[in-house]
Amino acid sequence: MILDNDLCKPTKVVALSNVFYKAVEGKYYVGQTEIVSSDGLNIWGALYNPPESGVNIFVNVLTVTNLSNSSFLAEIWLNTDFPGKGIRSGKFTSTNTIPCLETTPRGKIIYSNDGVCNHPEGGVNIYDRMIPVDSTIVTEEDSKFIVPPGGCYGAFVKAKSNQHLKAIFAFGWSEESIKSCKS
């Protein structure tokens, strides 16, 4: 009996998570809002894909940190118009900080500067999360929510009467250039 030594050696296979692979490519991003607060008014934070971005955003993670003195309900919305004018956060980065691979995201983190009276319009309230006092809730989405140009993914917190709200919203996401859908 003749054995071929090459056939007896196991083949090395390495499975990389999509998030890790995107990070190595310089296409995975993280960021957060400033502390968003209000007295008796609603607040929100969102990951927004500008209409001219040329990319689809793949949402991987959302975190909501409650710095208030009472728990609150965070409504998670997809492709809605959040009320008021959003302020753009400067707190974001590529997770790959090697100089030749670091890229700037096209997606923007936006949030309500002061409290807002109104509620989201259009879009879908896809789920809700109760956020206890002095805690952070992490929602891992594994890139299953894909946000096209002009869309968004975010959290809206509705204030109870005279409730002081104080929160930070954070996101992790990757981006892919849009390819033509020709039949």
Task: Give the model's confidence band at 31: pLDDT under 50 very low, under 70 low, under 90 confident, else very high.
Answer: very high
Query: To the nearest whole number, what is the mean pLDDT of the chain?
Result: 92
Tell which residue, 30, 20, 61, has the closest CA to residue 153.
61
Answer whether residue 41 shows pLDDT above 90: yes
Answer whether residue 10 shows pLDDT above 60: yes
Determine the average pLDDT of the residues in 26-41.
Answer: 95
23 or 136: which leads in pLDDT: 136
Quote the pLDDT of residue 1: 55
Quote the pLDDT of residue 63: 98
Determine the average pLDDT of the residues in 80-102.
Answer: 91
Answer whether residue 183 shows pLDDT above 60: no
CA dist 75 and 89 (Å) reads 20
Least-confidence region, from 24-38, 46-60, 101-115:
101-115
CA dist 143 and 27 (Å) reads 13
Task: Give the model's confidence band at 162: pLDDT under 50 very low, under 70 low, under 90 confident, else very high.
Answer: confident
CB neighbours (10 Å) of residue 162? Answer: 7
Least-confidence region, from 139-143, 145-149, 153-157:
139-143
Query: In the numeric block, which tokens belong to residue 1?
Result: 């009996």
Ramachandran angles phi, psi of 22, nearest 5°:
-65, -35
Fold of 29-177: Jelly Rolls (2.60.120)
Quote the pLDDT of residue 26: 87
> What is the tens place of the pLDDT at every residue in 13-27?
888 888 888 988 889
Percentages helix, strand, coil for the chain, rounded to the nearest 5?
5, 50, 45
